[in-house]
Amino acid sequence: MDRSMIHSQYERVLHHIRDIHTAKVNLGSDGSVEEVHVLASGGRSVKQIIKDIQTALLSQFDAKLSPDRIRVTLIGSDLEPETGWGRPVLTTVEVVAQGTLSQVTVALRHQGATFRGEAQGPAYGSSHLRVVSEATLRAAGSYLQAGLEFQLEEVVLLPLGTVRAAVAAVNFVDHLGKVYTLTGSAPMRNDEREAVARATLDALNRQFMVKTAGSKKRREVGAT
């Protein structure tokens, strides 16, 4: 059977599990399940969601998967990180001009690991702000690993009293077609591109939390 069809079968079953919005299955060379990444609402415990995933895979495909191979990203406005756990840090925003185009690479760092996102687009007008934001979303997506496809709705620089701030609106769609819109902002200090990256991360702040079975700590996407 074609690998894409195998992927679809696994993910279709996982999408029927309560509270799961998206699912991504990584297969081994023999077509067996190696890892599962899901995005789920924060109403139930991660332990219960993982148990439901194990049960579904076993009953439908006779596939056994250990809890440490299942990664759950929770979404909710009331997800608070545990004290001292912190967030991924925005380390660099690199821009390389290529004529009328710019290549942007954004790097996040957390627990010794680096997550990068790249985007290319016009280097002029307000378009260059979108390129920075899109690169940031790809870096955050690499960190979350939940099969999410973020869509940038808008990013702008606005005057706020004596300062300027970047404001970003980000969408993502779950497997049922439901659209979620998240917003974030960050003051501009010295670099408008850095402010845009921070605003984009702020749109995800306290909305996503990554956890695996047995984990006592939680990861929150945001900017410091």
For residue range 73-106, list pLDDT tens digits in order: 887 755 554 433 456 789 999 999 888 999 999 9
Query: Domain 89-207 is of which CATH architecture?
Result: 2-Layer Sandwich (3.30)
Does pLDDT of 206 surpass 70?
no
Section 93-121 average pLDDT: 93
Indicate the SS3 state at residue 146. Answer: coil
Phi, psi of 137 (to 5 degrees): -60, -35
- Dump pLDDT digits (tens) for 36-75: 999 888 778 888 999 999 999 999 999 999 999 998 888 7
Q: What angle do CA 118, 124, 127 make, to 5 degrees?
A: 55
Residue 134, C-beta contacts closer than 8 angstroms, at least 6 positions apart: 104, 117, 119, 121, 152
Does pLDDT of 221 surpass 70?
no
Largest CA distance in the chain: 62
Q: What angle do CA 196, 222, 81 make, to 5 degrees?
A: 165
Q: What is the pLDDT of residue 218?
A: 42
- List Cα–Cα distances, 221 to 66, 144, 170, 206, in angstroms: 26, 8, 14, 7
Section 121-141 average pLDDT: 93
Indicate the SS3 state at residue 30. Answer: coil
How far is the C-alpha of 131 from the C-alpha of 104, rounded, in Å?
Answer: 7
Domain ranges of the chain: 3-75, 89-207
Q: What is the pLDDT of residue 1?
A: 61
For the chain, the average pLDDT equals: 85
Is domain 3-75 in CATH 3.30.300.30, yes or no? yes
Q: What is the pLDDT of residue 88?
A: 78
Least confident of 4-18, 125-139, 170-184, 204-218: 204-218
Residue 20, C-beta contacts closer than 8 angstroms, at least 6 positions apart: 14, 38, 39, 40, 49
